[in-house]
Amino acid sequence: MTTDGEPNRADLGKDPRRVSGMFDQVARGYDRTNTVLSLGNDRMWRAATTRAVSPRPGERILDLAAGTGASSVSLAKSGADVVAADFSPGMIAEGERRYGRTAPGGGIRNLFFVQADATELPFADAEFDAVTMSFGLRNVNEPKKALRELWRVTKPGGRVVICEFSQPPSGAFNRLYRFYNDRVLPTVAKAVSSNAEAYDYLNESIRDWPDQQTLSTWIREAGWTDVAYRNLSMGIVALHRGRKPRDDRR
C-alpha cells in the first residue's frame, strides 16, 4: 500500500514499467480489440465523455491516458487545442502515426501528443480549461496523486471528466458481468489480440477497482467540487465530473 492508503500496483504484482510495455505491444490493434471486447460500447462511452467535457473552440484540453488518441480526436473536432498524453511510448507513437503532423494529409493540426506520467505531469499550473481521463486512472500507481495533478494543471473554474470502469449496482447483472470478464473475455482476447496477457491485466485491474462512490470521494478529496457521476451500460462504466473552484486556494 502507498502511504495514503491507495492500492499500489506493485502490491497486485504489476510493475508500472511492465504495464507500459504491455500497452506498447498492443498499441497497433488496441482500438479494434477494445471495440470487440466491449461489444461496441466503447464508441458510446467515448461519445458520452466528449459530451460531458463539452469542448469549445479556443479552449486547451488535456486528454490523459489518451492511448492512440481516439478520444482526443473526438475532442479536437470541436476546435479546441487538445493535448493527448499517455505513459506508453508505443501508444503515443501509434497516435502520432495516425493523427500527428506526419500522418497522411498532415494530421490533425490542433492535436498534440506528449508522453507523460499521470503523477508528475509536465505541464504548468492552471494550463488547461478542461482535463479528462478515460480508462486510465486504475492503471496509475497512485490514483489520488494523479487526481491532484489534474487539479493542479486545470484553470480555476475548469472542469474534469473521468470515465472509468466501475461496479454495476445490480447484483444479478454484476455476476453476469464478472462471468463475462472471467470466462469470455480471456478467450476472445486470445483470438483477437497480439498479447492476451495485457487483457488478463485488464480484467484484474477492473476487478480490483473501487465503486462509484469511492472514486467520487477521491475526486472531492483532490479539491474538485460539484462532483457527480452517472452510470453507463448499467454501471459497467461510470462517468464522473467535477469543477475546480474559481477561488482555488487550499
Q: What is the pLDDT of residues 30-74, one digit of tens each?
A: 667 777 777 888 999 999 999 999 999 999 999 999 999 999 999
Q: Name the residue among 241, 205, 213 with its Cα closest to residue 48.
A: 241
Residue 186 has pLDDT above 50, yes or no: yes
Question: How many of the other CB atoms lie within 10 Å of CB of 103?
Answer: 14
Name the more confident of 12 and 181: 181
Angle at CA of residue 208, ends 176 and 46, nearest 5°: 70
Q: What is the pLDDT of residues 15-36, one digit of tens each?
A: 666 666 666 666 666 667 777 7
Residue 117, marked binder = yes
pTM score of the predicted model: 0.86
Name the more confident of 177 and 75: 75
User: Which stretches within 131-180 are classed as H helix?
Assistant: 143-152, 171-179
Name the more confident of 15 and 9: 15
Task: Report the alpha-carbon distance of residue 216 to residue 94 in Å, rounded.
Answer: 32
The side-by-side arrangement of strands in the sheet containing 128-134 is: 111-115, 81-86, 60-64, 128-134, 154-165, 237-243, 225-232
Cell of residue 131, nine digits: 482535463
- Beta bridge partners, 117, equal 120
Task: Report the alpha-carbon distance of residue 240 to residue 18 in Å, rounded.
Answer: 28
Q: Name the residue among 39, 105, 45, 95 with its Cα closest to residue 72.
A: 95
pLDDT for 5: 40
Residue 54, marked binder = no
Residue 146 has pLDDT above 60, yes or no: yes
Residue 113 has pLDDT above 70, yes or no: yes
Question: How many of the other CB atoms lie within 10 Å of CB of 229?
Answer: 19
Q: What does the pLDDT average to over 128-137?
A: 96
Residue 118, marked binder = yes
Which of 88-97, 158-167, 178-187 comes out lowest in average pLDDT? 178-187
**pLDDT confidence bin for 243, thresholds 50/70/90:** very high
Residue 4, marked binder = no
Residue 134, marked binder = yes
Question: How many of the other CB atoms lie within 10 Å of CB of 97?
Answer: 16
